[in-house]
Amino acid sequence: METFIQQLLNGLVLGSMYALVALGYTMVYGVLNLINFAHGDVLMIGAMIGLSILQLLGAHVPDLNGGVQLAIAILGAIPVTMAVNILIERIAYRRLRNAPRLAPLITAIGISILLQTFAMMIWGRSPIPFPQLLSSEPIMIGGAMISQTQVLLLVLAAVAMVALALLVEKTKMGRAMRAVAENPRVAGLMGVDTNRVIVATFAIGAALAAVAGVMWGANYASITFTMGVLPGLKAFCAAVLGGIGNIYGAMIGGLVLGIIEALGAGYIGDLTGGFLGSHYQDIFAFVVLILVLTLRPSGIMGERVADRA
Partner 1 sequence: MALLTFDTRHKPRQAYISMAALLLLLLIFPFVASQFGNSWVRIIDIALLYIMLALGLNIVVGFAGLLDLGYIAFFAVGAYLVGLFSSPQFAALLESVIYYSPAIGEALVTVFGPEIQQNGIHLSVWAIVPLAAVFAGLCGALLGAPTLKLRGDYLAIVTLGFGEIIRIFMNNLNDPINFTNGPQGINMIDPIRVFGVSLAGEPGSNATVMIGGVAMPSVNAYYFLFLFLVIATIFITSRLQHSRLGRAWVAIREDEIAAKAMGINTRNVKLLAFAMGASFGGVAGAMFGAFQGFVSPESFSLTESIAVLAMVVLGGIGHIPGVVLGGVLLAALPEVLRHVVDPAQQALFGRVIIEAEVLRQLLYGLALVLIMLVRPSGLWPSPNKEERPNAALAREEEEASTA
Name the residue nearer to partner 1 (CB basis): 25 or 248: 25
- Distances 96 to 88, 134, 254, 284 between C-alpha atoms, Å: 12, 45, 29, 33
Q: Give the residue, chosen from 27, 54, 92, 256, that forms a contact with partner 1 under the rule CB under 8 A.
A: 92
Residue 114 within binding range of partner 1, rule CB under 8 A: yes
User: Which member of 101, 170, 185, 196 binds partner 1 (CB under 8 A)?
Assistant: 101
Q: Is 229 in the site for partner 1 (CB under 8 A)?
A: yes
Q: Which is nearer to partner 1, 112 or 147 (CB)?
A: 112
Distance CA 265, CA 282 (A): 9
Q: How many residues does the chain have?
A: 309
Determine, following the binding rule CB under 8 A, whether residue 111 of this chain makes contact with partner 1: yes
Residue 290 Cβ, how far from partner 1 at the closest point, in Å? Answer: 6
Compare residues 126 and 275 and give the one whose CB is closer to partner 1.
275
| C-alpha closest to that of 109 among 92, 85, 97, 121 | 92
121 or 166: CB nearest partner 1: 121
Instruction: State how beta strands 139-141 and 144-146 pair.
Output: antiparallel
The whole-angstrom separation of Cα 92 and Cα 95 is 7
Closest by alpha carbon to 177, among 156, 204, 157? 204
Beta carbon of residue 244, minimum distance to partner 1 (angstroms, whole number): 9
Q: Using CB under 8 A, which of 183, 280, 301, 302 touches partner 1? A: 280
Q: Cβ-count burial of 44 within 10 angstroms (0-12 exposed, 13-18 middle, 19+ buried)?
A: buried
Helix (H, G, I), strand (E, B) or coil at 139: strand
Interface with partner 1 (CB under 8 A), residue from 68, 186, 290, 296: 290
Out of 66, 79, 110, 127, the only residue in the binding site for partner 1 (CB under 8 A) is 110
Quote the least distance from Cβ 286 to partner 1, whole Å. Answer: 3
Tell me, by CB under 8 A, how many residues bind partner 1.
Answer: 45
Q: Which helix (H) or strand (E) segment is 89 a member of? A: none
Comparing C-alpha atoms, which of 32, 142, 123, 146 is closest to residue 85? 32
Q: Pick from 21, 45, 77, 96: which binds partner 1 (CB under 8 A)? A: 96
User: What single DSSP character describes residue 144?
Assistant: E
248 close to 164: Cβ distance less than 8 angstroms? no
Which among 229, 254, 238 has a CA at the least distance from the CA of 109? 229
The reply to whether 99 sits near partner 1 by the rule CB under 8 A is: yes
Taking contact as CB under 8 A, which single stretch among the options 61-69, 133-141, 187-195, 272-280 is the one that binds partner 1? 272-280
Q: Which is nearer to partner 1, 57 or 240 (CB)?
A: 240
- Please give the span between the terminal C-alpha atoms of the chain, in angstroms, as a whole number: 52
Q: Which residues bind partner 1 (CB under 8 A)?
A: 34-35, 91-92, 95-96, 99, 101-107, 109-114, 116-117, 120-121, 229-230, 233, 236-237, 240, 274-277, 279-280, 282-283, 285-287, 289-290, 293-294
